[in-house]
């Protein structure tokens, strides 16, 4: 997992509309980058909807909000439309950025182990440094924690 105050790794990923987003595009702005496991699952839906419901507060603070999962651009488009999400969802199907940010973890389900996306959030300051790292997110109350750090 990345350490606070270290330089945030750069990235280049496509959003739900196929538009490319780079961390460098947001130089001089604060970014909240959150990683989540899978579109349309209960926990992830609750998380993105919590960010959606606080989006205006984040915007007033000048924050850029970006969600990332390994889902396809097409899946992100459907997920974003279904839940009226006002922020981009970035697609990382090869899990390169997810891995660089330390959000790819060994998980187990039904006795099987596999590599999956660990729900985590990073606040990146205006200079591109990691202001705050939330390595393991509990969806309930998480957006309030993020707002407190801003």
Is residue 20 in a domain? no
User: How much is the pLDDT for 73?
Assistant: 98
Q: Which domain holds residue 47?
A: 29-149
Region 79-84 average pLDDT: 98
**What is the number of domains present in the chain?**
1
Is residue 1 in a domain? no
Residues forming the active site: 44
User: How much is the pLDDT for 98?
Assistant: 97
CATH number at residue 93: 3.40.30.10
Question: What is the model's pTM?
Answer: 0.94
pLDDT tens per residue, range 3-20: 999 999 999 999 999 999
Kind of pairing between the strands at 63-69 and 30-35: parallel
Is residue 69 in a domain? yes
Is residue 11 in a domain? no
Is residue 19 in a domain? no
């Amino acid at each position: 997992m990345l350490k606070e105050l270290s330089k945030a790794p750069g990235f280049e990923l496509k959003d739900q509309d196929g538009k490319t987003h780079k961390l460098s595009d947001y130089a001089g702005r604060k970014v909240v980058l959150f990683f989540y496991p899978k579109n349309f699952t209960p926990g992830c839906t609750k998380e993105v909807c919590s960010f959606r419901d606080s989006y205006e507060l984040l915007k007033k603070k000048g924050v850029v909000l970006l969600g990332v999962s390994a889902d396809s651009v097409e899946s992100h488009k459907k997920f974003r439309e279904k839940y009226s999400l006002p922020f981009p969802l970035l697609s990382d199907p090869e899990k390169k950025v997810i891995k660089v940010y330390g959000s790819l973890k060994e998980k187990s389900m039904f006795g099987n182990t596999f590599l999956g996306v660990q729900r985590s959030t990073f606040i990146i300051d205006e200079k591109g440094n990691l202001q705050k790292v939330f390595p393991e997110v509990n969806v309930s109350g998480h957006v309030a924690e993020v707002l407190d750090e801003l």
